[in-house]
Amino acid sequence: MDLSHVVQLVIQGILSGGVYGLIAVGLSLIFGVMGIINFAHGQMMVMGMYVSYWIFVLLGIDPYLSLAAVAAAIFVLGYFIQASVVNRILDYPEAMQVLPLVAVGLVLENTALLLWGPDHRSPQTALSLETTWIGPIMIDDSRLIAFALAILITVAIFVFLKKTDTGKRIRAASDNRMGALLVGINVNRINNAAFGLGAAATGAAGALLLPLMPVSPNMGHDFTLTAFIVVILGGMGNLMGALVGGLILGVAESTSTLFLPATLKQVVSFSILIVIMLFRPQGLFGGKK
């Protein structure tokens, strides 16, 4: 086994992990505030990819430049889903909260099928083939940019929640819904904003992934599951935990190909999930129970 091959895999794992982290941050935020698991998360990411694809194909604007617009579009989608569906089911038993969101996921997936058809689409963007070489080690530029932006967005969300008034309201609503209501916070609106923000993060992740992989309507489930594992790994509701969880999962999946057939990649991620559930159910960094 040659050392540069190992280094290569670790780097690729870290870079992919950053994007996993960003997808999971959205899921973690939504869970942290509402205590709801967004089973339509992957499909929202795919919507982000398609919006970004559309902007690229119709207007010729590179996915990195349209990032803010894509995030805004998916924010609106998330806000709408929260206002129309999720706010109504917040007090339901957990098992009953799952189904409406799975349904939302199916609606999104089939909307994509209707609008863009079943084909795999992968337009070649300006940077999608660019690479940087350090000796024998290749660094994929679009992966590196995706990683850097993912970290940046996560930090920005973190600062937003800590420093701004709206961020503080979101945290208050997350901490104690009744208390927040009593001090005059419009909790429903705050929930809408929080869901929208979580959705925007995953939508942005989608845009960052567009140069890296072909988009097709049915790829959402895989990413919902990945985000799920990452969130459990880092601790439900813990944003920095989600980011670190993403990095760990990325590296584990990537380096597993050294020892295992690639068909067992998913076995690696789910084994991690089982181990964490058994020995540290609150996640590596703790979180909401």
Which residues lie near other proteins (CB under 8 A)? 1-2, 5, 8-9, 12-13, 16, 118-124, 128-129, 131, 138, 140, 143, 209, 212-214, 216, 218-219, 222, 253-258, 261-263, 265-266
One-letter amino acid at 63 equals P
36's CB contacts (< 8 A; 6+ apart) are 30, 86, 89, 90, 97, 101
CB of 143 to other proteins, least distance (A): 8
231, containing H or E segment:
helix 220-234
Rounded CA gap, 230 and 250, in Å?
Answer: 10
What are 127's two structure tokens?
A: 């940077």
Is 124 or 184 the residue whose CB approaches other proteins more closely?
A: 124
Is 133 or 279 the residue whose CB approaches other proteins more closely?
A: 133
Provide the terminal-to-terminal Cα distance of the chain, rounded to the nearest Å.
42
Is 2 or 91 the residue whose CB approaches other proteins more closely?
A: 2
Is 59 or 258 the residue whose CB approaches other proteins more closely?
A: 258
CB of 273 to other proteins, least distance (A): 17
**Which is it for the CA torsion 266, 267, 272, 276, positive or negative?**
positive
CB of 139 to other proteins, least distance (A): 9
Let me know how long the chain is.
289
CB of 172 to other proteins, least distance (A): 38
Is 90 or 212 the residue whose CB approaches other proteins more closely?
A: 212
Rounded CA gap, 231 and 238, in Å?
Answer: 8
Rounded CA gap, 205 and 48, in Å?
Answer: 8
CB of 5 to other proteins, least distance (A): 5
* Strands, E assignment, the chain: 131-134, 137-140
Is 263 or 278 the residue whose CB approaches other proteins more closely?
A: 263
189: how many CB neighbours lie within 10 A of its CB?
16
CB of 129 to other proteins, least distance (A): 6
Is 174 or 226 the residue whose CB approaches other proteins more closely?
A: 226
Rounded CA gap, 112 and 101, in Å?
Answer: 17
CB of 2 to other proteins, least distance (A): 6
Per the CB < 8 A criterion, the answer to whether 9 and 241 are in contact is: no
